[in-house]
């Protein structure tokens, strides 16, 4: 192993240890965080910071989420192999690859074509088979519904009812909601015709912009 590859693996191990110390327990999530090369999703000037536990800027004034946030949301989603999962907010493509690495069948929507084109290149380069499109993800992707999991990686004023309607029986939706300054992660679970809601505070995302999100 050459020196830079060795450094990168040491940094990935350190990141996984940080996430364990912060309470992430799901072994599948931790293994995916270790496996997916986060440094390839960021601009070269941020590569050296790719395994720090922090959000980083990407194009179109958006961000690649903090690894802890990615891990926590993925853990809350309780992803199982072959689950059909919809992600709203492709961004860099990193979260979609974490889900695909865990064996989910991933569908992802992004409103900025430039970001989606770059993310698609990453899916191809890393060999993940992920369905993607541009558009307003606040109304979901009805063509492939229902989903076992729906994850929204931008902050909404409230839970979009179109997404709730696209949950499969037994499915889970994880979405940050609140003001544009701070949000809680809301977890919606469906059992038959019953929907349960719970939430965890203390998160900060870029806004979810669309019909059932913020109006810019």
Q: Which residues are catalytic?
A: 65
Least distance between ligand SAM and beta carbon 140 (Å): 10
Site map 21..60 versus ligand SAM, x via CB under 6 A? ----------------------------------------
Cis before 146? omega within 30: yes
Interface with ligand SAM includes 166 (CB under 6 A)? no
Site string for ligand SAM, 57-96 (x = CB under 6 A): -----xxxx----------------------xx-xx-xx-
Judged by DSSP in three states, 144 sits in helix
Q: How far apart are CA 216 and CA 213, in angstroms?
A: 9
CB of 151 to ligand SAM, least distance (A): 8
In this structure, the strands spanning 84-88 and 105-110 are parallel
Shortest distance in whole angstroms from residue 194 CB to ligand SAM? 27
When the beta carbons of 10 and 35 are compared against ligand SAM, the nearer one is 35
Considering only residues 137, 140, 149, 176, which one is a binding residue for ligand SAM as defined by CB under 6 A? 137
- 11: number of Cβ within 10 Å: 17
How distant, in Å, are the alpha carbons of 33, 69, 76 from that of 19?
10, 10, 14
Closest CB to ligand SAM among residues 43, 169? 43
Q: Based on the shown chain and the rule CB under 6 A, indicate whether residue 132 belongs to the binding site for ligand SAM.
A: no
Do residues 188 and 194 make contact, with C-beta atoms less than 8 angstroms apart? no
| Contact call for residue 208 and ligand SAM (CB under 6 A) | yes
Ramachandran region, residue 26 (left: φ > 0; alpha: ψ -120 to 50; beta: rest): beta
Q: Residues 111, 118, 172, 190: which binds ligand SAM (CB under 6 A)? A: 111
Q: Are 92 and 122 in contact (CB under 8 A)?
A: yes
Least separation in angstroms between residue 166's CB and ligand SAM is: 14
Span near ligand SAM by CB under 6 A; candidates 20-28, 29-37, 43-51, 107-115 = 107-115
Please count the other Cβ atoms lying within 10 Å of the Cβ belonging to residue 82: 9
Which residue stretches of the chain are H helix? 3-21, 27-35, 67-77, 94-101, 113-126, 161-165
Binding site for ligand SAM (CB under 6 A): 62-65, 88-89, 91-92, 94-95, 109-112, 115, 136-138, 153-154, 205-206, 208-210, 213
């Amino acid at each position: 192993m050459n020196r830079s590859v060795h450094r990168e693996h040491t940094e990935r191990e350190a990141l996984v240890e940080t996430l364990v110390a912060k309470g992430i327990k799901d072994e599948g999530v931790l293994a995916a965080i270790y496996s997916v090369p986060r440094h390839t999703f960021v601009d070269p000037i941020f590569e050296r910071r790719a395994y720090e536990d922090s959000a980083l800027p990407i194009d179109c004034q958006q961000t690649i989420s903090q690894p802890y946030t990615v891990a926590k949301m993925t853990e809350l989603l309780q992803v199982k192999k072959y689950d059909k999962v919809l992600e709203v907010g492709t961004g860099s493509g990193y979260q979609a690859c974490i889900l695909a690495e865990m064996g989910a069948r991933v569908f992802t929507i992004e409103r900025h074509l430039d970001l989606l084109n770059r993310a698609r290149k990453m899916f191809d380069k890393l060999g993940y088979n992920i369905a993607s499109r541009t558009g307003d993800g606040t109304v979901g992707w009805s063509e492939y519904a229902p989903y076992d999991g729906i994850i929204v990686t931008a902050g909404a004023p409230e839970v979009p009812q179109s997404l709730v309607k696209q949950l499969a029986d037994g499915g889970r939706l994880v979405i940050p909601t609140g003001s544009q300054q701070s949000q809680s992660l809301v977890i919606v679970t469906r059992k038959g015709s019953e929907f349960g809601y719970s939430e965890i505070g203390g998160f900060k995302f870029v806004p979810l912009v669309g019909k059932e999100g913020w109006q810019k």
